[in-house]
Amino acid sequence: ATTLGAAAQQSGRYFGTAVAAGRMGDSTYMGILNREFDMVTAENEMKMDATEPSQGRFTYGNADRIVNHARSRGMRVRGHALAWHSQQPGWMQNMSGSALRNAMLNHVTQVATYYRGKIYAWDVVNEAFADGSSGARRDSNLQRTGNDWIEAAFRAARAADPGAKLCYNDYNTDDWSHAKTQAVYRMVQDFKARGVPIDCVGLQSHFNAQSPVPSNYQTTLQNFANLGVDVQITELDIEGSGSAQASNYDRVTRACLAVSRCTGITVWGIRDSDSWRAYGTPLLFDNNGNKKPAYTSVLNALNAG
Ligand code: G3I
């Protein structure tokens, strides 16, 4: 196959990208999007601040532009993200206790209901664990409403959009030996044991020199899958250039292909200049929209798999 999406489909997987509504007038950007990808994630437009700017008033204009474009072209959509400590609207940031818990659950219910039937997988909860060696939950206003806030969010999402896969999504959960990875693993294990509805784990997979692709990355994917959930690589980008970057992209792609429940890969933007860390040139297309060596290595790996 000659495109990322078609190459991924050969093994029943998808290949997606983050899309920013503000770039949808850029014909180079849209040309690559429409040619290469078969899954889309809104980079910012489905987050809590974008969809509920004032309490109880929901706005979906930019999110709908992305979702409608994707669906009209036969691309599927990952919903990102229903509940997160970051990018909360101002009105929510200083809330606490049962008022915050109810506001969060109402947000999950309203957004998941609005998009019911249109989303392949929701990032129901994003980035709820702390970095470092503690293995603890991240402190946040949501966490302070009680340790059960995550399972409450998953239950609300299942009730609102029963056909969608429900994912827990995080970063720095790629190295199997890290405390954060282990903590997420134990939470998913516990959810499966107690019947809390969870279908998938998203590994964001933002890599750079400080946080390289770990040697045990495939082990991590496999161990999560062994809990009875799908795994998805949800926000892939790898800083670097040339053959070193290409080889890292190859390793990540092969790791997913080697794990039957790794259902797809999403890169976090199209051209380097579209990236949240453009200085690191972390993506598959250069600023002019030309294919980089990393693109070719991913395409070849998908075709070989
Ligand atoms: O749209 C406004 C613009 O009007 C304003 O002039 C400008 C001034 O700062 O800000 C613009 O908003 C920015 C937005 O990106 C759109 O470009 C926000 O400030 C900025 O904070 C926001 O950054 C996003 C970041 O999440 C916020 O947490 C990045 O685009 C987005 O790539 C990034 O994505 C996250 C995932 O959601 C979760 N995992 C990590 C990943 C990378 O940080």
Tell whether ligand 1 has an atom less than 6 A from the beta carbon of residue 181: no
Under the banding of pLDDT at 50, 70 and 90, the label for residue 261 is very high
Tell whether ligand 1 has an atom less than 6 A from the beta carbon of residue 230: no
The fraction of the chain above a pLDDT of 90, given in percent, is 100
Cα dist from 117 to 141, 157, 161, 228, whole Å: 30, 12, 7, 23
Are 189 and 169 contacting, i.e. CB atoms less than 8 angstroms apart? Answer: no
Which residues fall within 8 angstroms of residue 271, CB to CB, at 6 or more apart?
28, 29, 32, 283, 285, 286, 287, 288, 289
CA of 41 to the centre of ligand 1 (A): 14
pLDDT at 305 over 90: no
CA of 43 to the centre of ligand 1 (A): 8
Interface ipTM: 0.94
Give the residue-averaged pLDDT of 173-188. Answer: 98
DSSP string, 139-154: P-TTGGG-TTHHHHHH
Q: What pLDDT score does 198 carry? A: 99
Q: What pLDDT score does 206 carry? A: 98
Q: Which helix (H) or strand (E) holds 279?
A: none
One-letter amino acid of 76: R
pLDDT at 71 over 90: yes
Number of residues written out for the chain: 305
Q: Is the pTM of this model over 0.90?
A: yes
Distance CA 281, CA 275 (A): 8
Give the residue-averaged pLDDT of 124-143. Answer: 98
- Number of the ligand 1 atom closest to the C-alpha atom of 276: 32
Give the number of other Cβ atoms within 10 Å of residue 25's Cβ: 8
Q: List, in sequence order, every residue forming a beta bridge with 80; answer none if it has no partner.
A: 123
Residue that the structure tokens 């603890």 belong to: 136
Two tokens, residue 66? 């992305």
CA of 44 to the centre of ligand 1 (A): 6
Give the residue-averaged pLDDT of 16-35. Answer: 98
Distance CA 229, CA 82 (A): 19
pLDDT digits (tens, 9 = 90+) for 226-253: 999 999 999 999 999 999 999 999 999 9
- The residue whose C-alpha atom lies closest to atom 43 belonging to ligand 1 is 276
Two tokens, residue 288? 């002019």
pLDDT digits (tens, 9 = 90+) for 76-119: 999 999 999 999 999 999 999 999 999 999 999 999 999 999 99
Give the number of other Cβ atoms within 10 Å of residue 78's Cβ: 30
DSSP-based helix, strand, coil % in the chain, nearest 5: 45, 20, 40
Are 181 and 222 contacting, i.e. CB atoms less than 8 angstroms apart? Answer: no
Tell whether ligand 1 has an atom less than 6 A from the beta carbon of residue 96: no
Q: What pLDDT score does 58 carry? A: 98
| Ligand 1 probe mutation, 24, 43, 124, most atoms within 8 A of CB | 43
Q: Active site includes 127?
A: yes
pLDDT at 128 over 90: yes
